[in-house]
């Protein structure tokens, strides 16, 4: 499936759930960050993942802070590569985003903070390491309507 087809299926909420797992979320963020600046890409990633979860009746599975933190990891690494890699190259070079995402997240957040209800419903800044600008401002200014279930 092409990136365009994948994005259309996510937008239309017709992508099989098995294809919209953690790797699917990374693919979505990668595609959108190639198309938009980080602020718009983040807004779209949050909107689309939240909408997809709602369409499955799985609203409680959507987590704003996890989504934003993973967007930061993805976008920051894409920026270093100047967005020139293919998805396959990106995934191969950044396999820790797949296999070690919880470890990456715990390097920025205490578990109690990350897995709190407040962090699920809206962006909470890290309490171990700082997410630098402009990402922190982007996440702090997400439209409230995108975040509130």
Beta strand ranges found along 1-149 (DSSP E):
none
If one counts every other C-beta atom within 10 angstroms of the C-beta of residue 34, the result is 15
- pLDDT digit string (tens) for 39-85? 999 999 999 999 999 999 988 889 999 999 999 999 999 988 876 78
Q: Which domain holds residue 124?
A: 3-147
Q: What's the pLDDT band for 149 if we cut at 50, 70, 90?
A: very low
pLDDT of residue 148: 45
| Mean pLDDT of all residues in 106-118 | 94
State how far the Cα of 17 lies from the Cα of 19, in Å rounded to an integer. 5
How far CA 78 is from CA of 2, 3, 8, 26, 38, in Å, comes to 19, 16, 22, 12, 10
Domain count, the chain: 1
State how far the Cα of 136 lies from the Cα of 97, in Å rounded to an integer. 19
> What is the average pLDDT score of the chain?
89
Q: What's the pLDDT band for 102 if we cut at 50, 70, 90?
A: very high
């Amino acid at each position: 499936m092409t990136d365009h087809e994948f994005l259309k299926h996510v937008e239309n909420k017709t992508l099989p759930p098995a294809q919209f797992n953690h790797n699917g979320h990374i693919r979505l963020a990668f595609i959108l960050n190639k198309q938009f600046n980080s602020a718009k890409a983040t807004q779209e990633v949050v909107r689309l993942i939240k909408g997809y979860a709602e369409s499955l009746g799985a609203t409680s599975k959507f987590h704003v802070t996890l989504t934003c933190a993973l967007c930061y990891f993805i976008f920051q690494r894409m920026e270093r590569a100047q967005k020139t890699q293919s998805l396959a190259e990106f995934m191969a070079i950044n396999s820790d985003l797949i296999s070690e995402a919880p470890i990456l997240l715990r390097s920025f957040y205490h578990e109690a903070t990350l897995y709190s209800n407040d962090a699920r419903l809206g962006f909470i800044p890290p309490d171990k390491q700082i997410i630098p600008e402009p990402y922190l401002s982007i996440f702090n200014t997400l439209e409230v309507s995108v975040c509130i279930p």
